[in-house]
Structure 1
């Protein structure tokens, strides 16, 4: 039977999320809750579309229009996510969704559509005239065991020594749902990297939307929060997503201990895949994840551009942001926290 493309409405949300839960190509970031969170926190407009055949969902494509004066006007699947793109059970459904995304780009007048595919796309589902970004991002995913002693031994020796150092120094972890401990730690961490911080509202919104499928693990050094991370849970996977450490964290190996505690707690709860997330090739984060023994896998980001437009390049590796990053690192933290949210809402 032929494929029909529909817009997501309240009456189709349950069917969409059931499809996402059951479809291997789908990720946490394909869930309808992500559209709610982005719209509430940033005011961006979702354009979620799905393929249907004989009344059954056969593919989904979560698109969000991110439009700001600083960074232009783009449809992204999915905005503020490391994964997205088409999740479908067959090439016909995937191709129909891609064609609808192309039509949306034209009707809305946006400069580009960006699909953040985790896996390679078949030729039949790709569409015409799409450009894949040259190698920039990879992701790190690895199975974890029910036995945490095995998980500890699977960490390469030098990195395992850092985790044991933190344990010997008496660091402890707490888990909760309040972003109050996470936000100041995360804000300091990204300022030190020269990156604008999200608003506190974004973190509160994510926790409110995803409920028991999210938590925050915070590392304490003598009752002082020194590292913290927000984690998402999907099927049998745990995804530590927004995390960082204070200037004190490096000396006491708090970041290493933080990821160990996320892994340990997730394994105890029955999760069997640890998704260490996206990193740029040949960066410090890239090396850190390799040092944990995680293999990297290339991410496949592709673009359909309006005539005369280039691939959006709003990442810190872009040389034109070098002076901005250098200056941002020197900002007083209250200033960075006040200004950052107005900038970062357009980065998508």
Structure 2
């Protein structure tokens, strides 16, 4: 198999290849959108890299992997849950990922290195059966909470840049509560302005005119994913997330997407339990590395606990602007 590495790509060739793959089976993901390396390069100065794999016998494209180079290290894909090889055959995908030389981090559905972290999973909801395959099968209590949220006066709006500030009000407060630096406003603005071959859209939930929930979605091919989300904790009693996800899933079905991805979660996390209410397929993620996996700052529980207690939101926003280039 021939590997071709470039800092540019041909959308016509890639479009034909991606269209031949099944997103429900995980043969490609949101992170295979080739506009991502370009956007991240403009934001953080990373070096875009596109890797095309061609079958020696047929001359046809057999795989595709995009990413960025950060200080000599190939990363596929920073700031996103996935990366790795887009390919119809999982065995070939693993072969491609294992062929990468030098230092790397490859996030995929395959354990393609002896060094990997498997702490994260994602949740895929198959939309191919339409509305009738999703909502009637939900448990009574879930349907009830969707209805109560509506009766409580929760309003869900969909938009783009006009909703960004409202989304950030919720997102920043939620990230501060969790003890994590938030992505800066310029990150989301760049995605809204520069996302190609799909859509970037925001869903915001309101109670009496106040934004109390926010979700930032991206799509590529047959996949749409809720990539960044949050709800103001004090409004959870109004069942805000239930109505928001109901509206997002309906939108995804009506727009013709094949997969609604809830995004990644840590195993055993409360948010994963919420996602399971919608009966998605839980898919294991592997963060493969070229060398032994070391715990990041987010794995230091004592430090995280102190950070959460002492860091005001305004300062956390400033920290996020300074460090998210390096914490991905």
TM-score (norm. length: structure 1): 0.82
Q: Is 1:183 matched with 2:168? A: yes
Q: Is 1:210 matched with 2:195? A: yes
What are the Cα deviations for residues 23-71 of structure 1, in whole angstroms up to 9, with x where unaligned? 331212112101011111222222322113465432112132335xxxx
- 1:236–1:271 Cα contact (<8 Å) kept: yes
Match of 2:280 among 267, 289, 294: 294
RMSD: 2.5
Counterpart-to-counterpart distance in 1, 2:297 and 2:273: 18
Counterpart-to-counterpart distance in 2, 1:177 and 1:136: 32
Where does residue 140 of structure 1 map in the other structure? 123
Match of 1:62 among 56, 62, 66: 66
In structure 2, relative to structure 1, the CA distance for the partners of 1:18 and 1:328 (3 Å cut) is: farther
What are the Cα deviations for residues 76-110 of structure 1, in whole angstroms up to 9, with x where unaligned? 211111111122356668635642x21xx2xxxxx
Counterpart-to-counterpart distance in 2, 1:218 and 1:183: 10
Give the match's secondary structure for 2:75.
strand
- 1:198–1:345 Cα contact (<8 Å) kept: no
Counterpart-to-counterpart distance in 2, 1:8 and 1:16: 13
Shift in Å at residue 75 of structure 1? 2.6
Counterpart-to-counterpart distance in 2, 1:20 and 1:150: 26
Shift in Å at residue 74 of structure 1? 4.1
In structure 2, relative to structure 1, the CA distance for the partners of 1:329 and 1:262 (3 Å cut) is: farther
TM-score (norm. length: structure 2): 0.86
Counterpart-to-counterpart distance in 2, 1:96 and 1:75: 14
How many residues of Structure 1 are paired with residues of Structure 2 in the alignment?
A: 318
Shift in Å at residue 271 of structure 1? 2.5
Counterpart-to-counterpart distance in 1, 2:82 and 2:40: 15
Match of 2:177 among 192, 195, 218: 192
Shift in Å at residue 201 of structure 1? 0.6
Counterpart-to-counterpart distance in 1, 2:7 and 2:255: 33
Q: Is 1:303 matched with 2:289? A: yes
Shift in Å at residue 9 of structure 1? 4.1
- 2:86–2:93 Cα contact (<8 Å) kept: no
Shift in Å at residue 218 of structure 1? 0.8
Shift in Å at residue 149 of structure 1? 6.1
Give the match's secondary structure for 1:82.
coil
In structure 2, relative to structure 1, the CA distance for the partners of 1:89 and 1:266 (3 Å cut) is: closer
Q: Is 1:51 matched with 2:53? A: yes
In structure 2, relative to structure 1, the CA distance for the partners of 1:97 and 1:189 (3 Å cut) is: closer
Where does residue 277 of structure 1 map in the other structure? 263
Q: Is 1:153 matched with 2:136? A: yes
In structure 2, relative to structure 1, the CA distance for the partners of 1:5 and 1:295 (3 Å cut) is: closer
Counterpart-to-counterpart distance in 2, 1:271 and 1:81: 20
Counterpart-to-counterpart distance in 1, 2:154 and 2:92: 53
Structure 2: state its 5+ residue gaps.
none
Where does residue 261 of structure 1 map in the other structure? 247
Q: Is 1:240 matched with 2:240? A: no
